[in-house]
Structure 1
Amino acid sequence: MEKGNSVNLVKNTARVTNVPIVIVASAFGVEAIRRDGHAHWAAVAAKAGAAGFEVRRELFADDTQSQPDSLRELGDKIRAAGMWPVYSTPATLFDDQGALDESAMTLTLAEADALGARIVKFQLGGSPVTGTATDESTLDRLIAGVAGSKSKVVVENGQLKAGGTIDAFAALFEALKPRKHTLSMTFDTGNWRWANQDPLDAAKRLGEYVTYVHCKAVQGEGARRFATAPAMDDTYFTTLLAQLPRDVPRGIEFPFDPAHMADDAARYVQQIATA
């Protein structure tokens, strides 16, 4: 099949399935993003049929790229390519004592606003022992901070025990449930493995809070684990996705072959949209 027809098929498939696909910048590799910039690879993602492009703050080549003018320019380029931006930060909503990190929240939301992000993604953080604070004062300040964002605010399960356990997310969202709020969750299908958590159990317990899914499979054990593309016949992966909301964006967060970036991007947009 010719490349042009392949890309059209990807776009049509994503439209029919109603699953918006986001390509995460890191899929193109740290070196490529820092060398060429996010905008260059966002254009490749657009040609592959992606609906969104996830900008990773930790991949900026220098601090000037996180300044408001630079972020506005990058956001404009992503939208001009026909996609919407997602903003991802390694910042955590809660510090390592479990307290709400309001300064990190304020700074990140301002950066996401400058980018014009549809979604802004934090790590949860918190104490590896006690999780996050859920007292009324903390929840009030969290809800107020999130409500002031122009982007949808989500927290992602990370690869560490702090901010990577099912119980930590369940405790926070259960505490928030009686209140009116807009915080939701990014469910990373692979990160649970690093934190020694069962992804299927996580999906069953947390699926109702999920509005964005990061897709990847995991190979290896212990410290030698690494992210990889789900195989076409990976029934575990498809079973896991079936436990999660079907109509939320799915992000591709596994590495592409450096020799075939554009082809991989187009192929995996189609595969993840229909999984």
Structure 2
Amino acid sequence: MVEQVNFGNLIKNARTRAKVPVVIVASAFGAESIRRDGHAAWVEVAAKAGAAGFEVRRELFSNKTQSQPASLYELGQRIRAGGMWPVYSTPAMLFDDTGALDECAMEQTLDEAAALGARIVKFQLGGSESTGTATDSVTLDRLIAGVRNSKAQVVVENGQLKAGGTIDAFSALFEALETRAHTLAMTFDTGNWQWAQQDPLEAARRLAKYVGYVHCKAVEGEDGRCFATAPAIDDSYFTALLAYLPAHVPRGIEFPFDQASLASDAARYVKQLASA
């Protein structure tokens, strides 16, 4: 049974926190805009909004050259010139649909993140819906060795499907890693749990200690017809959810800005999330 939540105490605690770094996820400006104009076209807008970081989305590259080392390096330089640091997000699964570690996907993604000069590199967890991910000693050794030399913080995100989107799958993996020295962390997406029919507050209680990055969004709709939206400034549920999570880790804006007021929306939400 899920325990009762004292929203008042959680919100009070959240308001005592120091400001945290906020990342603007490129898709917040509109997926089609990024595909059409490229990520670099939106770096200045993100910088002027006060973002600490800018998240590059691999699935929004419009051609293969954009994922090549030279192009990634140039984009990373552009982001740093704006006073921000790059985050690299990929739809690649760390584990394949049988639950086995996908070492090829891991190596390719880490090479691309290195070319970008990313501070954080984000995978989807993946794995099997029924059995989750492999947690045997050999797999864990390979996983730890694979991410050990990455200069970027490697994180795995809860997705919108049951495969790679359940609380138990993340709990099983990170509990298996607890007795080993490793650098893997979790991206906690506040909205994706609802797509996978999981309780976000239960997820936060069980997984908070593993979280290294938070993707922020609210969700509207139901029965598989959900869509991401901005959390309301007085959304006590969202504030309570953030209060469970580490106060110092970066928060990414992953909800769409109003296309009629992109710059002002970006600045407003950066400020709001930095002190939420």
Same fold by TM-score, threshold 0.5 exceeded?
yes
Structure 1 partner of 2:62: 61
The SS at the match of 2:261 is: helix
Q: Give the TM-score taking structure 2 as reference length.
A: 0.93
Structure 2 partner of 1:18: 19
Structure 1 partner of 2:164: 163
**Which deviations, in whole Å up to 9, do the C-alpha atoms of 1:120-179 show, x marking residues without a partner?**
000000000000000000000000001021110000000000000000000000000000
Structure 2 partner of 1:192: 193
Aligned-pair distance for 1:84? 0.1
Structure 2: gaps of 5 or more residues = 1-16
Structure 1: gaps of 5 or more residues = 1-15
Tell me the distance in 2 between the aligned counterparts of 1:44 and 1:222: 35
1:169-248 pair list within 5 angstroms: 169-248=170-249
Structure 2 partner of 1:11: none
Structure 2 partner of 1:127: 128
1:89-168 pair list within 5 angstroms: 89-168=90-169
The SS at the match of 1:155 is: strand
Aligned-pair distance for 1:274? 1.4
Q: Which amino acid aligns with 2:152?
A: S
**Which deviations, in whole Å up to 9, do the C-alpha atoms of 1:212-270 show, x marking residues without a partner?**
00000000002210000000110000000000000100000000011110010000001
Tell me the distance in 1 between the aligned counterparts of 2:35 and 2:126: 26
Q: Which amino acid aligns with 1:177?
A: E
Matched residues, percent identical?
A: 77
Q: Which is helix-richer, 1 or 2?
A: 1
Structure 2 partner of 1:29: 30
Structure 1 partner of 2:45: 44
Aligned-pair distance for 1:43? 1.1
Structure 2 partner of 1:9: none
Aligned-pair distance for 1:42? 1.5
Which runs of 4 or more aligned residues in structure 1 lie more than 2 Å from their structure 2 counterparts after TM superposition? none
Aligned-pair distance for 1:69? 0.2
The SS at the match of 1:222 is: coil
Q: Give the TM-score taking structure 1 as reference length.
A: 0.94
Q: Which amino acid aligns with 1:61?
A: S
Q: Which amino acid aligns with 1:90?
A: P
Q: CA RMSD in A?
A: 0.8
Structure 2 partner of 1:79: 80
The SS at the match of 1:258 is: coil
Q: Which amino acid aligns with 2:96?
A: D
The count of residues paired between Structure 1 and Structure 2 equals 260
Tell me the distance in 2 between the aligned counterparts of 1:102 and 1:221: 35
Tell me the distance in 2 between the aligned counterparts of 1:233 and 1:122: 31
